[in-house]
């Protein structure tokens, strides 16, 4: 069973940067993709970015294109989300999830890490 643990959140000013980490234990190499999602109070969880475990193809939400970069370290079994030029609208709890196959939904959610962008 794959377990995911997020870290790296914190408080940052507008325009600042943070790097989130999603450490995977178990057999993450069996995954189709790892994705980052976020959820703000009163809102549904929304997709941020994803990366295919094999091949490294990345996908981004329009709201973060050009500002966020997702990457993976296969040796460390870790997926990163580099967040630059942060905006107050990026404030949320960030979660990583695993998609085992192209047909399956994201699962194996971690506990989340809080990102707060102050203006």
Give residue-wise pLDDT tens across range 47-70: 999 999 888 899 999 999 999 999
List all residues 6 or more positions away from 117 whose beta carbon is below 8 Å from its beta carbon: 12, 13, 14, 16, 86, 87, 88, 89, 90, 91
* Residue segments in the chain with a per-residue pLDDT below the cut of 50: none
Three-state DSSP class for residue 82: strand
Tell the burial category of 119 from Cβ atoms under 10 Å away from its Cβ (0-12, 13-18, 19+). Answer: exposed
pLDDT of residue 28: 67
């Amino acid at each position: 069973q794959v377990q995911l643990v997020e870290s790296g959140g914190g408080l940052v000013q507008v325009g600042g940067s943070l790097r989130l980490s999603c450490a995977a234990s178990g057999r993450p190499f069996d995954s189709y993709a790892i994705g980052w999602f976020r959820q703000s109070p009163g809102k549904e969880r929304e997709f941020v970015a994803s990366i295919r475990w094999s091949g490294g193809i990345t996908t981004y939400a329009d709201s973060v294109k050009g500002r966020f970069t997702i990457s993976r370290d296969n040796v460390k079994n870790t997926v990163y989300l580099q967040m630059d030029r942060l905006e107050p609208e990026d404030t949320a709890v960030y979660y990583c999830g695993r998609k085992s196959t192209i047909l399956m939904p994201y699962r194996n959610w971690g506990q989340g890490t809080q990102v707060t962008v102050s203006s």
